[in-house]
Amino acid sequence: QRRGLRLSAPAAIQVTVRDALNQALDEELERDERVFLLGEEVAQYDGAYKISRGLWKKYGDKRVIDTPISEMGFAGIAVGAAMVWLRPVCEFMTFNFSMQAIDQVINSAAKTCYMSAGSIAVPIVFRGPNGASAGVAAQHSQCFAAWYGHCPGLKVVSPWSAEDAKGLLKASIRDDNPVVVLESELLYGVPFEMSEQAQSKEFVIPIGKAKIERQGTHVTLVAHSRPVGHCIEAAAVLSKEGVECEVINLRTIRPMDIETVEASVAKTNHLVTVEGGWPQFGVGAEICARIMEGPAFNYLDAPAVRVTGADVPMPYAKILEDNCIPQVKDIVFAVKKALNI
């Protein structure tokens, strides 16, 4: 206290997802000299999406490295560096382009620790925008959560908020396993409240732990990435009609925190999953299968319902694109279907 006034602690602040990711990279580059960033335009141009803004000027050519347009090449360099205990952060300009390097991600990074009986770890992060953007059509709008979540040896995270982005990226860089960080381009410029705790340089979010974003009693909504926000909006709409939704932000695709979902279903007796990816073999399909096979199945009062992207390559036209991506109205409709109202 000073002159009878109480000095307040730093309050929560508004931070965009872009700035949260930039903070995470900056703090981890500073914390551990083995960490380095590589990818297309990450250095002199400050990143295609400005995620690495200012890092090249601060850390130099050896820590922030511009690469040729060759995903298989620079992903392979990064995997090799990780095998000798450097900690590369490999940026794909979009995860659609990670298909060029999928042999390195799966056959080299994901499987080496197992195939070497644990003697070779691969502490690498593959990160970049994933899923639909705006007006970039079929070859730039796929969600790879189910693809990479399918593969043993990888950890896969999918942040929604600024706190998610910072805490999960820092945890991924510190992890001794290969981690795929699936970001949303459409969230980069969105501001979220960041708590005082999350502003700390030691703030991390454990990989493999979901978060309940909204408490509810009538139906469980499970989502990851941008659809989490749609679920919260849908919950607000439904609340006016007397339906209280519990919204779970999955955060991690692999390993999946099915226990949090089971506990919620045991309370609400209804389940709706929401994702931007395609329906067949999707994240929602996996959640529904796990619930059916586990103890929470006995608590369901109705079949689980999935809300997904349309089962087509993404159209270019905006009106068609909007109808291919889950909207708030689709979630409201699915909840009413699950509740039979």
Q: For the chain, which residues make up each domain, given as ranges?
A: 14-199, 211-339
Tally of CB atoms within 10 A around 193: 13
Contact 206, 260 (CB under 8 A): no
Q: Could you give the dihedral angle defined by the CA atoms of residues 113, 81, 207 and 23, in that order, rounded to the nearest 10 degrees?
A: 180
Nearest to 187 by CA among 202, 166, 206, 172: 166
Contacts of 240 (CB under 8 A, 6+ apart): none
Contact 302, 339 (CB under 8 A): yes
Residue 255 preceded by cis peptide, ω within 30: yes
Whole-number Å distance between alpha carbons of 131 and 187: 11
* Among 27, 71, 185, 213, the one annotated catalytic: 71
Residue 140 among the catalytic residues? yes
328-339 vs 227-239: helix crossing angle, rounded to 10: 60
- Taking the domain 211-339, which CATH number applies? 3.40.50.920
Domain 14-199 and domain 211-339, same fold? Reply is yes
User: What letter represents residue 264's amino acid?
Assistant: S
Residue 230 among the catalytic residues? no
Length, in residues, of the chain: 341
- Tens digit of each residue's pLDDT (9 = 90 or more) over 295-325: 999 999 999 999 999 999 999 999 999 999 9
* Among 27, 28, 91, 140, the one annotated catalytic: 140
The DSSP H or E segment spanning 246 is strand 245-249
Whole-number Å distance between alpha carbons of 339 and 224: 22
Whole-number Å distance between alpha carbons of 285 and 77: 35
What pTM was estimated for this model as a whole?
Answer: 0.94
The CATH class that applies to domain 14-199 reads alpha beta
Spell out the per-residue pLDDT of the chain, length 341, in tens.
444 454 555 688 999 999 999 999 999 999 999 999 999 999 999 999 999 999 999 999 999 999 999 999 999 999 999 999 999 999 999 999 999 999 999 999 999 999 999 999 999 999 999 999 899 999 999 999 999 999 999 999 999 999 999 999 999 999 999 999 999 999 999 999 999 999 999 999 999 999 999 999 999 999 999 999 999 999 999 999 999 999 999 999 999 999 999 999 999 999 999 999 999 999 999 999 999 999 999 999 999 999 999 999 999 999 999 999 999 999 999 999 999 99
Whole-number Å distance between alpha carbons of 313 and 74: 28
Q: Say which residue the tokens 């590369």 belong to.
A: 88
